[in-house]
Amino acid sequence: MTDPHPPSLALLTDRYELTMLQASLADGTAHRRCVFEVFTRRLPAGRRYGVLAGTGRVLESLERFRFGASELDWLADEGVVDDATLTYLADYRFTGEVVGYAEGEVFFPQSPVMVVEGTFAEAVLLETLVLSILNYDSAVASAASRMTSAAVDRPCLEMGSRRAHEEAAVAAARAAVVAGFVGTSNLEAGRRYGLATIGTAAHAFTLLHDDEAAAFAAQVASLGTGTTLLVDTYDVRRGVELALDAAGTGLGAVRLDSGDLGVLAHEVRAQLDEAGAQGTKITVTSDLDEFAIASLAVAPVDSYGVGTSVVTGSGAPTCGMVYKLVAREGADGTLAPVAKAARGKISVGGRKAAARRLGADGRAVEEVLVTGPDDDVRGWSSPDASLRALHVPLVTDGTVDTGWTGPDGVRRATERHRASRDELPRGARRLSADEAAVPTVALRLGD
């Protein structure tokens, strides 16, 4: 059942969002129309592309970003903001517009992956919520994409829940599936987002029993011969023998979780084939990452179970995304570009549209940021067939496009990632360190 009164997310934010709100309400600037942009200045070292994930979770969170009595009472008791600000927060609703890259799309430095437009008061409060979701989910999806690339046609399974915060584990499972993983061990992720769930038994189950044969017999009796038996608790060769004794040649799969996985996979494959179990698959786990998966490309492995590395971004636990004000309403009522000029943290002012230029072979050659007069950029559509527009509407007049949320949103994001990654230039999916797969360029309208 869906909770009719889900907990508020309003305090999952930084204090300075509310103190900025208080000051802007006091001086009258809070209601100026503003445009905020989410982008990253650079990719993690050596990465050639990023993968946007978490958009659906941002949209799902907007409805729960409400200040109820308990949140307002706590803010008052702590003296965080004044009474006028508490009055504003009591009626807070985001009524603006959000456009952005479709979830699952690849991105590059400066890509405006999400654009939030509303009053300063409405939009500034969303900064921490948006960034905390997009930075984590995109880091996981970016790592997961490298893993599914390395795995080629072999499925990857997410099993990292025990290496993450309990809610992060759910988000990570979702993001991994967006980037091509076919299932997760996390049941809550399966329930919320319609993901396939996987899992049979750990070493503890084998150790519980008096011997390996008894453990295998119990598992097969409970789950059937199509189950996956973990054969490396003791001796692998003997484990395979006992697994076949328990399930016969119709055994679904064996799992290897330790040792030299490449060598063991060859040995186990030969043993299974010799016994007539040619259909029994081999799953490998044990601290895999994209490099370990790539190293097993020639091994007779059928699927990969990945835990710690995927839920921690495989060495890049954040995407470094920022949420910057790029335009605000001036005294004459028009939107004026604004930009940060601090060394090393420069931003480009003004609303932007985005497109990807494709070559004759259908592969990306440039990330194009469209700039110019605000009205021209807002209504821009490309007359050039080689440019694929990247922004899609996500929130209109405060109403969320629910097609990007829930299980349907995950399916759409998975499809978008598959198509977007297929557009990358050849070589972009190699794991060796290099620059971004395509350059980011500007196209100024009216010049």
Task: Look up residue 167 and give its amino acid.
Answer: E
Interval 335-368: pLDDT, tens: 999 987 766 666 789 999 999 999 999 999 999 9
- Closest listed residue to residue 254, CA positions, set 274, 276, 279: 279
Interval 45-78: pLDDT, tens: 999 999 999 999 999 999 999 999 999 999 999 9
Other beta carbons within 10 Å of 26 = 12
> Residue 446 has what pLDDT?
77
> Residue 111 has what pLDDT?
97
**Distance in angstroms (rounded) separating the CA atoms of residues 245 and 71:** 60
Query: Which of 328-337, 345-354, 383-392, 414-423 is predicted with the least confidence, judged by mean pLDDT?
Result: 345-354
Question: Where does the pLDDT of residue 1 fall: very low under 50, low under 70, confident under 90, or very high at 90 and above?
Answer: very low
> Residue 346 has what pLDDT?
65
Phi-psi region of 230 (alpha: psi -120 to 50; beta: other; left: phi over 0): beta
pLDDT at 44 over 80: yes
Interval 266-310: pLDDT, tens: 999 999 999 999 999 999 999 999 999 999 999 999 999 999 999
Domains plus CATH for the chain?
15-125+320-444 (3.20.140.10), 142-311 (3.20.20.70)
The mean predicted confidence, pLDDT, of the chain is 95
**Average pLDDT for residues 14-35, to the nearest whole number?**
97
> Residue 379 has what pLDDT?
83
Interval 139-175: pLDDT, tens: 999 999 999 999 999 999 999 999 999 999 999 999 9
**Average pLDDT for residues 191-208, to the nearest whole number?**
97
Query: Which of 1-5, 100-104, 117-121, 212-216 is predicted with the least confidence, judged by mean pLDDT?
Result: 1-5
> Residue 348 has what pLDDT?
83
Other beta carbons within 10 Å of 274 = 9
DSSP string, 361-419: TS-EEEEEEEESSHHHHHT---S-TTEEE-EEEEEETTEE-GGGSHHHHHHHHHHHHHH
DSSP helix/strand/coil, 358: strand
pLDDT at 95 over 60: yes
Interval 421-432: pLDDT, tens: 999 999 999 999
